[in-house]
Amino acid sequence: MKNRKLIVIPIMILVAGAAMWMLNKDYQQIDMTIRLMIAAGAALLSGVISYFLFKPEKEE
């Protein structure tokens, strides 16, 4: 479980940064709090998806 967190947290940070950059670049008319909520939602969704996709392999 700890190994997955080492992968998931950087992915979430990268997604949040990319989302904020895109929203600030292309959608200046949207209020900053809404942009932050959109970026946080994107980061959370990508974190959940990557948490389940990067399951540890079973050793036999």
What is the predicted pLDDT for the residue at 60? 63
Element at 31 (helix H, strand E): none
Contact between 43 and 12 (Cβ < 8 Å): yes
In the chain, what percentage of residues exceed pLDDT 70?
A: 93
- What's the alpha-carbon Rg for the chain, to the nearest Å? 14
Q: Write down the pTM of the prediction.
A: 0.82
Cβ proximity of 4 and 54 under 8 Å: yes
Average pLDDT over residues 31-59: 91
